[in-house]
A and B are shown apart, each in its own frame.
Chain A
């Protein structure tokens, strides 16, 4: 059957002749007991016509008490189809269907706008809507919704199974376009149910209560299945709606799982990450995967304006915070005119760079609470120094020569026209190194004189490669303490494509504060998303009422 054509409805296939009668008789069979007005409503036919059909088959019914109709007109007598005439009515209806013309395309709306009309599907839509507001679904409700979907599937002529997994593998190649649309809608609902049931799987094992054991696996599978079907049928709006739902209701739950791996179950994390970070999934449901995938930041230092005045120096960092260890996927510097689409711009200043430095140190070294360490980030224009106890900043300083003219290096020095200030070589290098050492010693002395000061266990140096090596060596021979290059690959994956492992480390060291900023921003965004969800669910909970519904 051509997938772009709809299955003929009864209305279309019968033509006008006999259609009205069929509708009334069908309503009689479906209802079993009714008033004439109910028959008219159910069949969509005029009351006079209904009266005529009922009159023709009087002996099929027995009449009961008068009932109210809720609208103008007299009260009505309820009629009951006699059980012994039910088969006769069904037979008559069957002959009418037989005479119907088969395979007439329905000249109605396009396939991609088809929504299953079965009441069970409508019920399920509302149930899942209210479960979404609550942010969870209990086992009983999930099972009931799945059962209702089975009934709705049957009404759509789709294969029915009591086994949840079967719906992912059924062959729909001979199904009509509307049937495929119906299935895509139902897969979307199945996916929602799976995601909504995740909170119920976090406690004790629910066993077979839900009818499935792995809500993440099936949630993603049905989401993917619905997405592919909608896309292939040209149902752009439907896939966008599904993506929007997933962004609002599933992403926060997934984010919670990824940021707290201990609350999930074995295997969830890997499966989730491999699926949501695949390019196919990102194309199908971009809003859903966006918070769960890598994030790209453009870290802009407004004080570093390139010679061409309209451009600023920007560090582009892509990090994936959810791998088994945080992963830097990309890190480079460029001169840009404006932020690129799809990236998150971050403006930096001295304190923010210092934050980044602390962040990358913490992410790699996970220092114990009482460990004191000094971080030194050497840049051509300035040197940032931070002394930390655990991950808490105790003392910090930015060492930079005065902007214009000073006598700090022991003799009058004109700095204008000389950029960068600190350099690995050249005629001022010795003075600059001495100046740096003096300043570093001052800071450390200042710290050590403070109350509760403890021994600095190590100094970690990072920054411009040549300069860092030079400063590192100078400090090693002068400070008399453990001096190490900061290792950004200690607990992080550096996977910048096209670079060797050592080049990756060198680059990461050079851009350490910016990478740290990107990591920190990532965690902040995730926390914000989780907080938004918590606030949202609180509001929805407060708004629920149990009065006459």
Chain B
């Protein structure tokens, strides 16, 4: 049985104060870089120093008071670098004080973002999937754990408990940086779309075998790769709705894109990268052949078939096989691949034919712009054992 887990007050204070400093800083970043680039490094060092503030560990001090201390600390440590009367500093500090009034604890922000994702999840399920499914109840737990935070002091995990999905978000305050804060929606979105919405048995149906147990391998090219691309595209589309405001959408999107690239280009994670590339190829293919397929919204078709595949309980091997077959039919290439001229010529000659064939087969299987994952298995000769 999971014990609901929340951040300690100390971690919550440090992370929230860091997030505030970064959130305001991005609005001033360009001016700082143009005028006083060296001060940016000092700002980062000062923000990292929040944890060493004596008041941080004072359990009687509330978050709001700690934010005031943090702002004062930033002002005092940046003053010698920028100059106490520097307009850059004055404007930044004033902006911090202004934002601080409405600034929510980091765990509350994450709860809000995930809550909006769940609503979107229900909307997408309704629009895309033919299965009459409801988004399962998703709990959000937070914890501080270094080993679970491989990138920017941030990490995530999804588990299942008593029929509910539990998303864990992990922070490691010393490594938590600007990129980390702006990537929180990405981590939540990955956990939600890739894992919380995976293998949802239709109401009343029970899982049959061990292979249908919840969870996936870290090298699962479908759930970790293909679906990561899918969730990233949804996030790109829905960032404003998830954040609940528009002023920082571009920053969150850019950082999410960077996080997506970084996550999938890590050493040892090329299977995941392959899955994402195959998904991108399939997405592009549907866009290319939208007219032939008589599909007005290829994005919706792509989301539908991907989500329906993910919703199928079990079949982990078949889903991964499908990714490989899509890659084989459409051609997945990494930029660093060095081709051989005679092979490339052959591939180029065949690609149009192969894509046309696949489009034809999908066209035959489409019913009212709906592509059943079972039909896709059949077309690509994948046996859903």
Could you say which of A121-129, A320-328, A473-481 contacts chain B? Answer: A121-129
The contact of B281 among A32, A43, A148, A154, by CB within 8 Å, is A32
Contact in complex: B341, A546 (CB < 8 Å): no
Q: Which of B109-117, B200-208, B250-258 contacts A (4 or more CB under 8 A)?
A: B250-258
Is B338's CB under 8 angstroms from A11's CB?
Answer: yes
B157 near A547 (CB under 8 angstroms)? yes
> Are B187's CB and A80's CB within 8 A?
no
Quick check: is B45 within 8 A (CB to CB) of the other chain?
Answer: no
| Segment of A90-98, A459-467, A509-517 engaged in the interface with chain B | A90-98
B351 and A90 within 8 A (CB) = yes
Chain B residues positioned under 8 Å from A485 (CB to CB): none
Residues of B within 8 A of A55 (CB): none
Q: Which of A32, A90, A143, A544 contacts B348 (CB 8 A)?
A: A90
Cβ of B357 within 8 Å of any chain A Cβ, yes or no, is no
A148/B157 contact (C-beta < 8 A), A30-B331, A117-B338, A118-B337 known = no
Which chain A positions have C-beta within 8 A of B285?
32-33
A402 and B263 alpha carbons, distance in the complex (Å): 77
Give the complex CA separation of A33 and B324 in angstroms: 19
Chain A nearest CB, measured from B33 CB (Å): 10
- From B10-18, B95-103, B269-277, B365-373, give the one contacting chain A: B269-277
Assuming the contacts A32-B284, A119-B334, asked whether A546 and B324 have C-beta atoms less than 8 A apart, the reply is no
A97 touches B344 (CB 8 A): yes
Q: A31 to B268, Cβ gap below 8 A?
A: no
Query: Contacting A120 at CB < 8 Å: which of B268, B274, B345, B355?
Result: B274
From A86, A126, A546, A547, contact of B352 by CB (8 A):
A86
A68 touches B253 (CB 8 A): yes
Q: Closest residue to A151 on the B side, CB-wise?
A: B328
Does any Cβ of A come within 8 Å of B150's Cβ?
A: yes
Q: Which residue of A lies closest to B159 (CB)?
A: A546
Contact of B288 among A83, A100, A547 (CB under 8 A): A83
B interface footprint on A8-22 (CB within 8 Å = 1, 0 otherwise): 111101100000000
Is B341 a contact partner of A13 (Cβ separation < 8 A)?
yes
Which B residues are CB-close (under 8 A) to A90? 348-349, 351-352
In the complex, how many angstroms separate the beta carbon of B154 from the nearest chain A beta carbon? 8
Please, how many angstroms separate the alpha-carbon atoms of A94 and B345 in the complex? 6
Number of A-B contacts (CB under 8 A): 188
CA distance A90 to B356 in the complex (A): 14
Evaluate contact between B250 and A126: CB separation under 8 angstroms. Answer: no
Q: How far is the CA of A118 from the CA of B316 in the complex (A)?
A: 24
Interface string of B222-266 (1 = CB under 8 A from A): 001000000000001000000000000010011111101101000
Chain B nearest CB from A33 CB (Å) reads 3
Is B47 an interface position by the 8 A CB rule? no
The answer to whether B257 and A70 have CB atoms under 8 Å apart is: yes
The answer to whether A70 and B258 have CB atoms under 8 Å apart is yes
The answer for the CA separation of A44 and B337 in the assembled complex, in Å, is 11
Contact status B274-A29, CB under 8 Å:
no
Residues of A within 8 A of B254 (CB): 68-71
- The chain B residue with its CB closest to the CB of A155 is B343
Using known A-B contacts A64-B287, A544-B218, determine if residue A119 contacts B332 with beta carbons closer than 8 Å: yes
Contacts of A14 in B (CB 8 A): 341
List, in ascending order, chain A residues with CB within 8 A of B187's CB.
Answer: 548
| B274 A10 Cβ-Cβ under 8 A | no
CB distance from A198 to the nearest CB of B (A): 20
Residue of A nearest to B267 (CB): A126
**Chain A 134-156 interface 0/1 with B at a Cβ cutoff of 8 Å (1 = within):** 00000011011001100100111
- The 8 Å CB contact of A548, one of B155, B289, B321, B331, is B155
Chain B, range 276-310, C-beta contacts under 8 Å to A: 277, 280-281, 283-285, 287-289, 291-292
**For the complex, is A541 an interface residue (Cβ under 8 Å from B)?**
no
Give Cα A94–Cα B344 distance, bound, in whole angstroms.
Answer: 9
Q: Tell which of A10, A42, A87 has the most Cβ of chain B within 10 Å.
A: A10
* CB atoms of A126 and B344 under 8 A apart: no
Are A156 and B340 in contact (CB-based, < 8 A)? yes
Kindly list chain B residues whose C-beta atoms are within 8 Å of the C-beta of A545: 147-148, 218
Q: A68-B236, A119-B337, A122-B334 are in contact. Are A549 and B270 (CB under 8 A)?
A: no
Q: Decide yes or no whether A335 CB sits under 8 A from chain B.
A: no
Query: By the criterion CB–CB under 8 Å, are A120 and B284 in contact?
Result: no
A47 to B11, CA, bound (A): 43
Q: A549 contacts B272, CB within 8 Å? A: yes
A63 to chain B, nearest CB (A): 11
Shortest CB–CB separation between residue A135 and chain B, in angstroms? 15
Question: A130 CB to closest chain B CB, in angstroms?
Answer: 5
Interface residue? A161 (CB, 8 A) = no
**What's the dominant secondary structure at chain A's contact region?**
helix
Asked whether A67 and B236 contact (CB < 8 A) given A547-B155, A548-B191, the answer is: yes
B87 adjacent to chain A (CB < 8 Å)? no
A366 CB → nearest B CB, Å: 42
Q: Which of B147-165 contact A (CB under 8 A)?
A: 147-148, 150, 155-157
Asked if A431 lies at the interface with its beta carbon under 8 angstroms from chain B, I say no
Q: By the criterion CB–CB under 8 Å, are B284 and A9 in contact? A: no
CB nearest to B148 among chain A residues: A547
Give the residues from 84 to 118 in chain A that come closer than 8 angstroms, CB to CB, to chain B: 86-87, 90, 93-94, 97, 100, 102, 117-118
Bound CA span A252–B222, Å:
32
**Partner among B291, B317, B336 whose Cβ is within 8 Å of the Cβ of A140:** B317
Question: Does A213 belong to the interface (CB within 8 Å)?
Answer: no
Partner of A7, one of B255, B321, B340: B340
In angstroms, Cα B331 to Cα A83, docked, is 15
The reply to whether the CB of A41 lies closer than 8 angstroms to some CB of chain B is yes
A157 at the interface (CB under 8 A from B): yes
- In the complex, the chain B residue whose C-beta lies closest to that of A72 is B254
Q: Are A69 and B257 in contact (CB under 8 A)?
A: yes
Q: Which of B255, B317, B342 is A144 in contact with, Cβ under 8 Å?
A: B317
**In the docked arrangement, what's the CA distance between A544 and B219, Å?**
11
A27-B335 Cα distance, complex, nearest whole Å: 8
Asked whether any CB of chain A lies closer than 8 Å to the CB of B67, the reply is: no
Q: Whole-angstrom distance between the alpha carbons of A330 and B260 in the complex?
A: 62
Q: How far is the CA of A67 from the CA of B253 in the complex (A)?
A: 9
Residues of B contacting A44 with CB < 8 Å? 335
Q: Which of A80, A119, A544 contacts B274 (CB 8 A)?
A: A119
Contact between chains at A33 and B341 (CB < 8 Å): no
Whether a CB of chain B sits under 8 angstroms from the CB of A334 is no
- The answer to whether A70 touches B219, judged by C-beta atoms less than 8 angstroms apart, is no
A549 and B224 contacting across the interface, CB-CB below 8 Å: yes
- Minimum CB–CB distance from A90 to chain B (whole Å) comes to 5
With A119-B332, A545-B147 as contacts: A33 and B219 at CB distance below 8 Å: no
Tell whether A10 pairs with B270 under 8 Å between CB atoms, given A68-B256, A87-B352: no
Q: How would residues 84 to 107 of chain B score, 1 for a CB under 8 Å from any chain A CB and 0 otherwise?
A: 000000000000000000000000
Are the CB atoms of A127 and B219 closer together than 8 Å?
A: yes
Bound complex: CA A83 to CA B355 (Å): 9
Query: B80: CB under 8 A from chain A?
Result: no
Q: What are 5 A-B interface contacts by the 8 Å CB criterion?
A: A43-B335, A68-B236, A82-B288, A117-B336, A147-B324
Ranked nearest first, the 7 interchain pairs of A and B with the lowest CB-CB distance are: A70-B257, A33-B284, A140-B317, A547-B157, A68-B253, A32-B284, A549-B218
Known: A80-B288, A126-B270. 8 other contacts (CB 8 A): A33-B280, A68-B254, A70-B261, A102-B341, A122-B334, A140-B317, A147-B328, A546-B216
Contact residues of A with B, CB < 8 Å? 7-11, 13-14, 26-27, 29-34, 41-44, 64, 67-71, 75, 80-83, 86-87, 90, 93-94, 97, 100, 102, 117-120, 122-123, 125-127, 129-130, 140-141, 143-144, 147-148, 151, 154-157, 544-549
